[in-house]
Structure 1
C-alpha cells in the first residue's frame, strides 16, 4: 500500500520555498536606478543639509527655566488623595471645608486668563544689553530683535495675515466707563499670543504636583519670568481659596468696630451718671443705675463675643491659606533649550534623502503613467 502524499500546496520542510527571481530582479533594478541617479540625490541631499545648517545656526537661541511644586492646604487636604481614589470607584466626595479649593488641573486655565497675562507682561526683568530693569512688554517692543528665521516666517507664512491687517487697517481702541469690563489692546493681544508659546503649566493628577516653565531669549530673563509666573499663579490660588474666609473676616471686623464704639459709649454714660449721682440714694436713681448697668452688660457681652469671633475669623484665614511646597525651585538655566542643532541637521538630512529618492521614483512613475495615457489615447483615436 502506497503512502498518501500531501497536497502540493503544503510546505515541504525539507525543501524551503525558493525566492522568486522576478523579485530579485525588481529589487536590483530599484537599486540600480538609485545608483544611476546618485548625483541627483546627492545634490538634493546637499541642499537640504545646507538648509538645515542655516536653520540650526540662524534660529534664535532660547532658554527654559522651570519649577515644580505641590499645592497643599493647612487643613490637610492634598490633591490626589482620598477624593482621587473615590473617583475611581465612581464616588464624588467633593472638597473638604468650604468647597472653594481650585484643583491643580485648572491651573493652566488660570494661567491663560486675561487678568493673569496682563499682570505677567508688566513683570520687571533685567535688560541683557544694559543691565537695567525693564518690563516684559517694553523688552519685546523696544529691545528684542526677532532674528532672520523669525523675520522670514513673519513675512512668508504670516504674509496673508499682514496683508489682511493692512486692508482692514488698525482696529480702533474701545473705551468705556464701565470698570467691570476688561479690554485688551492690539499690543497686549500680541504679547498674549507670545506668552501662549512661552509659558507652560502642566499638572500631574496622579502625583499631585504642578510643573511650570518659561522660555526666553536670555537665561536670566527666563528664570525671572518663571519665578514671576509662579508667584502670580500661587497668589491667584491663595486669593480664591481664602475669599470666603476673608469676606467673613471683613464683616466681623466691621461689626466689631461698631459694637466696640457702642460699648465704650455705654461705659462713659454709666460712669458719668454714677459721678453725677454719687450721694443720691433715691429709688429712681438706683433704678436708672440698674438700667444703665444692664445695657452696659449687654453691650459688653456682644462686644466680647464679637472679639472672639474676630479672632476665629483671623485664624480661619490662616487655616484656609494654601501652602506650596517647592520640589524644584526656579534656577537660571546653564544650557540653551533651542535650537537643537544636531537634531535639526539629522532631520533635514533624512528629509533630503526622502525627497531625493521620492523624486527619482516619482518622476519615473509619472513618465510611465504619461506613456500609458498616451497609448490609451491613441487606441481610442
Structure 2
C-alpha cells in the first residue's frame, strides 16, 4: 500500500471520528437543544397568533392613449402658407408604465394620498386617510410590544429631542416641500402597503394596497388608482394644453391685426371711390394684398385653434380596467404555519450554534490552561 493511500485512509478515519464526535455532542446536549427549539416555537406561536391580519385589495388596468402626428401643429400650418414644410413631428408626452412606481413613491403623490377620502366601517363617516391613521387606526398587540420594548429608546430620544415638531424638507423642481414627522411616518406606512407593478411585456399595470381592514384596503386601492390616473392624464395633457394656449394667443393677436387692416382698407375705399389715379390704385392694391395675407393667416389660425381643442380631447389617456377593485375576503398575511416553521428552523440553528460555540470555547480554555 502506498503512502498516499495510507494518508487518504487516515483522513477518512479522522473525518468519521469528527462526525461521530459531533453526533455525540449533539446527543449529549439534546435536552438543551430541545429547550431552545421549544422556546423559539413559543415565540413563533406568539408572533403568529398576535400578528394582526392584513388584507390586500388589488386592481389591474391597461393605460391607452393615441399618439398624434401633428405636422408641427399651428406652426406647421403657418409655415405651409409660406411654402415651407417642417415635416410631421410626433408630439408625444407619454409616461411609460415603467415609471408609475416612481410617481407613486414621490413626495407630492404621497402628500396628495394623505388627503384621500375614506369611509371606515366602524366610523360610518368620511375622513381623510391621514386622519384615519393618526386618530382611528389602533395598532395590534404585537406592534405595541415592539414599540414600547425594542423601540423604547427611540421613543425616549424622540421625546427628548422634540422630533414630533420636526419637519423634513424635500427639494423639488418647483420649490421646497416641507413634511412633518407625522407625515413621514405615514409615508413609511404607504411605502409598505402600496405596490405598483407594471408589466411591460403584456402592457398592463397591477396595483395593490394592504391594510388591516378589508374595506379600507379596497378604498385606498381605488383612491390610489384614481390619483395615479389623474397624474398621468395631467402630465399627458400638459403639452396639448400649452399648444392650445399658444395658438389661442397668436389667434387673438392676428384677429386684432386683421380687424385693423380691414378697417383701414374700408376707410381708404370710402375716401377714394371717385379717384382713379395710378398712385391711389397702387396703394389700394398693396393694402388689399396685405389684407389677403393677414386674412389667410387669420383663417389658418382659426382652424388651428379648433384642431388644438380636438387634440386636447384626443390626447386624454383612457384606462381600460381589467380587474376592478373588490373588497378582499381572505387575509393575505400573516402566514401562520410559515412563521412557526421559520422560527422552528431558526431555533434549531441557534441551538446548534450555541452548543458548538460552547464546546469550542471550552476547548480553547483547556488549551490556555495547558499553556
TM-score per shorter chain, which class?
0.7 to 0.9
Deviates further, 337-346 or 237-246: 237-246
Shift of 1:266: 9.1
Partners of 1:74 and 1:323 within 8 A in 2: no
* Matching of residues 342-357 of structure 1 within 5 Å: 342-357=337-352
Q: Give a deviation string over 1:227-268, Cα, whole Å, max 9, x none.
A: 221221222122222211111112323444566678789999
Residue in 2 that maps onto 1:144: 137
Residue in 2 that maps onto 1:247: 242
Q: Give a deviation string over 1:83-104, Cα, whole Å, max 9, x none.
A: xxxxxxxxxxxxx822522232
Q: Which runs of 5+ in 2 are unaligned?
A: 70-88
Residue in 2 that maps onto 1:372: 367
Partners of 2:250 and 2:301 within 8 A in 1: yes
Aligned-pair Cα RMSD in Å: 3.9
Correspondence 1:182 to 2:174: no
Residue in 1 that maps onto 2:35: 43
Residue in 2 that maps onto 1:117: 110
Quote the Cα distance in structure 2 between the aligned partners of 1:98 and 1:291: 38
Quote the Cα distance in structure 2 between the aligned partners of 1:76 and 1:269: 41
Residue in 1 that maps onto 2:219: 224
Q: Give a deviation string over 1:315-369, Cα, whole Å, max 9, x none.
A: 2223333333334332222211111111001101111212222222222222111
Shift of 1:166: 2.4
Quote the Cα distance in structure 1 between the aligned partners of 2:134 and 2:263: 65
Among 88, 100, 104, which residue is 2:97 paired with?
104
Shift of 1:58: 0.9
Q: Taking structure 1 as reference, are residues 210 and 362 closer, same or farther at Cα in structure 2, changes over 3 Å only?
A: same
Shift of 1:46: 1.4
Alignment partner of 2:318: what SS? Answer: strand
Quote the Cα distance in structure 1 between the aligned partners of 2:125 and 2:119: 6
TM-score (norm 1): 0.74
Shift of 1:67: 2.4
Partners of 2:168 and 2:181 within 8 A in 1: no
Shift of 1:294: 8.7
Correspondence 1:62 to 2:62: no
Quote the Cα distance in structure 2 between the aligned partners of 1:134 and 1:353: 48
Alignment partner of 1:184: what SS? Answer: strand
TM-score (norm 2): 0.76
Quote the Cα distance in structure 2 between the aligned partners of 1:142 and 1:39: 49
Residue in 1 that maps onto 2:209: 214
Report how many aligned residue pairs link the two structures.
Answer: 340
Quote the Cα distance in structure 2 between the aligned partners of 1:111 and 1:371: 61
**Higher share in helix:** 2
Residue in 2 that maps onto 1:127: 120
